[in-house]
Every structure is written in structure tokens, then in C-alpha cells.
Structure 1
Amino acid sequence: MKMVTAIIKPFKLDEVREALHEIGISGITATEVKGFGRQKGHTELYRGAEYTVDFLPKVKLEIAIGADQVDSVIGVISTAAKSDGEGKIGDGKIFVNNLEKVVRVRTGETDTDAL
């Protein structure tokens, strides 16, 4: 079992969700987060004053899947999250971690049965 964590641009959330749904992934947790990487934020002008926006709005997706689905999930997220289909700085990152145990609270099912 694996936990795929993806950080993407907020306006790409619907595209990524729909693409994941098409390959049979239905359980996703989405959280609004802020952060920066190579973008390092940007400067904006507000009421005549310039200020730096260090942390940019992002969406963090968490998807628990079987190990056999990792490559397809990564491929779908990578394709759907790219800006203009070609990719730009700030499009996001994908992290994959091992899941040692999963329990469905309602039924007590464990591991892959709980996914």
C-alpha cells in the first residue's frame, strides 16, 4: 500500500480529480495549503505599496492506493496538473510513501480491504 501526496496549483484540482476518477480512484483528501519551491513567491502592488508574497496558495492531495496503482496515479496527476499541457515552474510535486497499516473505522477492515 502506498500514500501518494501531490502538491498542485488550486485551479488544477478539478482536472486532476476527474482524471483520477477515470482510472478508478475515488478516495482523495484535498487540503488548501501554502508554500513555495523554486518559484520563491512573487511581488505584488497593493494600494501603491509593493510587497512580497512568499507563500503561494496550493492544494495538497492525499491518495491511499495499492502498490500496483502507483505508476498510473503518478502519470495521471503529472499529465493533468501541468500548466498549458507543457509544464511550468510551480506546477507541483508528487511524493510516494509506504503505508504500513490502514484501518476502516466503520467496519474494522484492515490494509487493502480498507482502501
Structure 2
Amino acid sequence: MYMIRAIIRPERVSTVLSELLDAGFPEVTKMAVYGRGKQKGIKVGEIYYDELPKEMLLIAVKDEDKDDVIKVIMRNSRTGEKGAFGDGKIFVAPIEEVYTVSSGKSGL
């Protein structure tokens, strides 16, 4: 199992969530986050913004679904044909164990 953390532009979230649902991956946790990447923020006129609003999606997936979920996120979170700075990052980490609180069962 893997935990996929996708940090993407807020305006792309509804599209990504819709496409994940259509692809058979409805289980997602979403939260608002703030940060900056390699661009170190942006300057608009005389104002410098070093913490930009983003959304983080957390998705636990089975091994065989990892690549499909990543492709859906990549395809739908890009701005423009080739993408742009600030489109986001996807982090993938292994999950050792998962438990459902209500039933106590392990696994997804």
C-alpha cells in the first residue's frame, strides 16, 4: 500500500477529485495548506507573497493502483499543455499498516 500526497493549485482540485472518482478512486482526504516551492513565492507589484495557498490531497492506494492514481493527478492538475511552476508536487510513501476504526479490521 502507498500514501500519495498531492499538493496542487486550489483551482484544479475539483477537476482532480472528479477524475479520481470517475477512475474508481473516491477515497480522498483534502486540506488547505500554504507554502512555496522552488519559485520561492511570487512578487506582484511591490508585494511579495512567500506562502501561497495550495490544496493537499491524501490518498491511500493498493500497490497495483499507485501508477493509475498518479497519472490521473498529473494529467488533471497541470495548467496548460506542458504545465507551469507552482502546479504542485506528488509525494509517494509506503504504508505499513491500515486499520478501520469502526470495525478494527486491517487493510484498505
TM-score by length of 2: 0.95
| Percent identical residues | 39
* Paired position in structure 2 for 1:10: 10
* Paired position in structure 2 for 1:80: 76
TM-score by length of 1: 0.89
Alignment of 1:87-102 (within 5 A): 87-102=83-98
Selected match of 2:104 from 105, 108, 113:
108
SS at match of 2:57: strand
SS at match of 2:86: coil
Shift in Å at residue 51 of structure 1? 2.4
* Paired position in structure 1 for 2:19: 19
Paired letter, 2:70: I
Equivalent residues, number? 108
Paired letter, 2:43: T
Which of structures 1 and 2 has the bigger CA Rg? 1
Q: Which runs of 5+ in 1 are unaligned?
A: none
CA RMSD of aligned residues (A): 1.0
Q: Show CA shifts across 1:5-35 (max 9, x none).
A: 0000000000100111111101100110011
User: Once superposed, which parts of structure 1, at least 4 consecutive aligned residues long, lie more than 6 Å away?
Assistant: none
SS at match of 1:6: strand
Higher helix share: 1
